[in-house]
């Protein structure tokens, strides 16, 4: 029997239409009986007296009347009492049935209560009941277990203070409000603090509790502890958004942060891209573990300097990005960069090596240089590359002109392509002198580009561009072919002793294909290569040290001499001279110009000269412009030198004339 049906019957049993009122009913029976008795006696006696005159008959009728009275009253009593007893019996039967039903319902309720208590007590779900004032009414044991409280009383008063962070209190009061308005809230997450101070994450479903007995509105919340899942998610998130080496946010996290700031329509902010200058050099020369240490060191320097409204991320490799929040003046950006440079610019010591860290920095400003993440990043990147190509170790703010500059470079690259195809190049030669007697020792081949519309363009301008675009390979192949055929012609003319120096860019030196081609040109030269000098720079070492050393050795095996060009600039170090099997060291013009400064500068120059000589390398002084410099070099026994003082680079016709002139005195001598 279903419960509903049973309950319905129970109510029928207690139907009140057939009620018994003991006093009223007894009175009613007594009154009816008295009236009937009185009427019977009075009327029957009167009729008997009036109708019957025979005494004997009257006595017999009186007796029969008495019997009739008894019969009638018996029938009356039977009928009235029977009806009542029927009702009473009915009621008692129903009572018995009701009792049975009630006791089975009670039994069922007890079972259900036990089940409910079992669920509330043992279910791994937080169940709390609270009222509209946020006061806790009931908390199940699992909630205490999760939160680490043992039914402590303190938990009940100001419970929010115990289990919520200050951030979360606002969130929680929002939840209360929404629940009061909407009556039901599903799947919302909150962060709670346990008694021991750790965090737990709980997902809630709440609703209004329908309790007619209580005047207050009460709410019930069911919470599931999702801390483990959340922690796993956070770990995954951490991996997805963190750079594992430095622990800083990564590129994805940075983009999100920029988007977040853009969405908030935050007042101005600056996006900085930082690139560590010559990082590859550190990596290649000292190994990746040192490179990693350097990146961590830099990450630490930046983190120390930036403020809470700022943000730092590692984009990958040696690139970092910083967001400077809420700046009002460009000066603030400069100040921060200055602090970073001061912090990072201190000499960095590791494994007995010391480094000076320099940074190329590009800045894009919001909103001036873009109002969306891609444009801002692109512009910060353009500015950073521009600061690199301008010579590194500098800050560049994005400007339209940088972009125009890029367009200019694209235009130049096109023209350069044309120049390669239509032979707009020419080689000039700068004589290298034996300083002691001012005689010509050899020549350095220097490239000249005679561009149709602009005239001569300096190699200092187009070679770095050609290196960036890869056009250097074709150019350098042309240079080697032309210079070597020139040298062949000199040899054929008896100028075998005249050396020819050819510059080889680090790009070609480390390129597998182009290097093999240059190598094949040298092999095909088929003549004495001992008076051919290949000039390389230290920048090659920064790119790929091991490869460079291998390649230099290969060139030497072919018979050419190797010169280390521009020594005294950039990353000059005596270690490089030691590492590279060079024959000649060319002292850079900037180095030579210091000899006129008396004191420390001059002392450094003289000791470097001494050292290089001791290492058994031939020395060439570059960029000699004054007689004083010349004299100094002669006095310090520098063997060779080139410079405007003696001769600028000259075209081949002038070289040939010079060589012929050189021959003449000896011819004249022979003639004598």
Shortest approach of Mg ion to residue 411 CB, angstroms?
27
Shortest approach of ligand C2E to residue 464 CB, angstroms?
9
User: CA quadruple 307, 310, 313, 319: dihedral positive or negative?
Assistant: negative
Phi and psi based region of residue 427 (left: phi greater than 0; alpha: psi -120 to 50; beta: remaining) = beta
627 lies in the binding site for ligand C2E (CB under 6 A): no
- Choices 336-344, 357-365, 433-441, 459-467 (CB under 6 A): range interacting with ligand C2E: 459-467
442 lies in the binding site for ligand C2E (CB under 6 A): no
Shortest approach of ligand C2E to residue 322 CB, angstroms?
35
Phi, psi of 131 (to 5 degrees): -105, -175
Q: What is the DSSP letter of 612?
A: H
Considering only 359, 447, 484, 620, the residue that binds ligand C2E (CB under 6 A) is 447
284 lies in the binding site for ligand C2E (CB under 6 A): no
Shortest approach of Mg ion to residue 566 CB, angstroms?
4
Considering only 250, 285, 499, 503, the residue that binds ligand C2E (CB under 6 A) is 503
Q: Nearer Cβ to ligand C2E, position 525 or 591?
A: 591
| Contacting residues for 384 by C-beta, under 8 A, at least 6 apart | 273, 274, 275, 319, 360, 361, 362, 396
Q: Nearer Cβ to Mg ion, position 253 or 446?
A: 446
459 lies in the binding site for ligand C2E (CB under 6 A): yes
Q: What is the DSSP letter of 91?
A: H
643 lies in the binding site for ligand C2E (CB under 6 A): yes
Helix axes 472-492, 512-524, angle to 10 degrees: 10
- Choices 55-63, 160-168, 250-258, 456-464 (CB under 6 A): range interacting with ligand C2E: 456-464
**Biggest alpha carbon distance in the chain?**
218
Q: In what side-by-side order are the strands of the sheet with 126-131?
A: 136-139, 126-131, 218-225, 199-209, 184-193
List interacting residues with Mg ion (CB under 5 A).
503, 535, 565-566, 622
Considering only 119, 644, 661, 663, the residue that binds ligand C2E (CB under 6 A) is 644
Identify what 442 binds: Mg ion, ligand C2E, none; CB under 5 to 8 Å per kind: none
Considering only 140, 430, 539, 629, the residue that binds ligand C2E (CB under 6 A) is 430
Site for ligand C2E in 525-584 (CB under 6 A): 535, 565-566
Do the beta carbons of residue 187 and residue 205 sit within 8 Å? yes
Number of amino acids touching ligand C2E (CB under 6 A): 23
Shortest approach of Mg ion to residue 533 CB, angstroms?
9
Q: How far is CA 657 from the centre of its chain?
A: 66
Q: Nearer Cβ to ligand C2E, position 301 or 446?
A: 446
Q: Nearer Cβ to ligand C2E, position 204 or 480?
A: 480
Per DSSP, the three-state class of 116 is: helix
Token output for 510: 């480390």
| Contacting residues for 258 by C-beta, under 8 A, at least 6 apart | 271, 323, 373, 376, 377
Token output for 594: 């210091």
CA separation for the pair 178, 175 (Å, rounded): 5
Block residue for tokens 């008076």 = 531
Phi and psi based region of residue 353 (left: phi greater than 0; alpha: psi -120 to 50; beta: remaining) = beta
Which parts of this chain interact with ligand C2E (CB under 6 A)?
Answer: 430, 446-447, 458-460, 463, 476, 479, 503, 505, 535, 565-566, 589, 622-625, 642-644, 649
């Amino acid at each position: 029997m279903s419960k509903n049906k049973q309950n319905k019957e129970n109510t029928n049993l207690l139907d009140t239409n057939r009620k018994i009122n003991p006093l009223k009913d007894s009175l009613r029976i007594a009154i009816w009986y008295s009236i009937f008795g009185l009427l019977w006696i009075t009327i029957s006696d009167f009729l008997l007296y009036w109708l019957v005159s025979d005494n004997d008959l009257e006595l017999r009728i009186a007796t029969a009347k008495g019997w009739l009275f008894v019969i009638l009253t018996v029938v009356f009593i039977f009928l009235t009492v029977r009806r009542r007893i029927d009702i009473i019996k009915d009621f008692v039967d129903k009572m018995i049935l009701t009792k049975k039903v009630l006791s089975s319902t009670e039994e069922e309720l007890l079972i259900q209560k036990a089940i409910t208590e079992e669920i509330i007590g043992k279910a791994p779900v937080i169940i709390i009941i609270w009222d509209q004032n946020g006061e806790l009414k009931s908390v199940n044991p699992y909630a205490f277990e999760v939160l680490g409280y043992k039914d402590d009383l303190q938990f009940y008063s100001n419970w929010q203070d115990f289990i919520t962070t200050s951030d979360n209190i606002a969130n929680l009061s929002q939840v209360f409000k929404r629940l009061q308005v909407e009556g039901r809230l599903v799947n919302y997450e909150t962060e709670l603090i346990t008694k021991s101070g750790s965090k737990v994450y709980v997902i809630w479903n709440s609703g209004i509790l329908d309790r007619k007995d209580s005047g207050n509105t009460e709410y019930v919340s069911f919470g599931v502890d999702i801390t483990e899942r959340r922690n796993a998610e956070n770990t995954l998130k951490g991996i997805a958004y963190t750079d594992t080496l430095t622990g800083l946010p990564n590129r994805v996290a940075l983009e999100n942060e920029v988007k977040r700031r853009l969405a908030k329509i935050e007042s101005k902010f600056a996006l900085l891209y930082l690139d560590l200058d010559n990082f590859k050099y550190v990596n290649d020369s000292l190994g990746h573990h040192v490179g990693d240490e350097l990146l961590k060191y830099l990450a630490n320097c930046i983190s120390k300097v930036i403020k809470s409204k700022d943000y730092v991320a590692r984009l990958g490799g040696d690139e970092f990005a910083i967001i400077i929040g809420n700046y009002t003046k460009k000066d603030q950006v400069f100040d921060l960069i200055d602090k970073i440079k001061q912090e990072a610019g201190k000499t960095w010591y590791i494994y007995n090596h010391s480094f000076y860290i320099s940074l190329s920095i590009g800045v894009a400003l919001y909103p001036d240089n873009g109002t969306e993440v891609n444009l801002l990043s692109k512009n910060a990147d353009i500015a950073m590359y521009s600061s690199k190509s301008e010579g590194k170790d500098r800050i560049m703010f994005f400007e339209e002109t940088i972009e125009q500059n890029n367009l200019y470079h694209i235009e130049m690259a096109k023209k350069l392509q044309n120049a390669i195809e239509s032979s707009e190049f020419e080689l000039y030669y700068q004589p290298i002198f034996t300083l002691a007697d001012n005689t010509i020792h050899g020549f350095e081949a220097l490239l000249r580009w005679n561009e149709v519309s602009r005239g001569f363009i300096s190699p200092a301008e187009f070679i770095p561009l050609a290196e960036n675009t890869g056009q250097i390979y074709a150019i350098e192949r042309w240079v080697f072919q032309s210079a070597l055929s020139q040298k062949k012609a000199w040899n054929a003319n008896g100028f075998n002793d005249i050396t020819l120096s050819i510059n080889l860019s680090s790009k070609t030196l480390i390129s597998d294909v182009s290097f093999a081609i240059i190598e094949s040109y040298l092999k095909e030269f088929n003549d004495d290569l001992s008076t051919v000098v290949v000039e390389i720079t230290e920048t090659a070492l920064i790119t790929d040290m091991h490869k460079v050393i291998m390649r230099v050795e290969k060139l030497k095996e072919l018979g050419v001499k190797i010169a280390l060009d521009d020594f005294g600039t950039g990353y000059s170090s005596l270690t490089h001279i030691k590492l590279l099997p060079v024959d000649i060291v060319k002292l850079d013009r900037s180095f030579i110009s210091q000899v006129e400064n008396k004191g420390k500068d001059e002392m450094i120059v003289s000791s470097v000269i001494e050292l290089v000589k001791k290492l058994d390398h031939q020395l060439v002084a570059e960029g000699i412009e004054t007689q004083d410099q010349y004299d100094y070099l002669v006095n310090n026994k520098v063997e060779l030198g080139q410079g405007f003082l003696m001769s600028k680079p000259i075209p081949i016709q002038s070289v040939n004339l010079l060589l012929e002139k050189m021959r003449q005195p000896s011819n004249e001598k022979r003639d004598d």
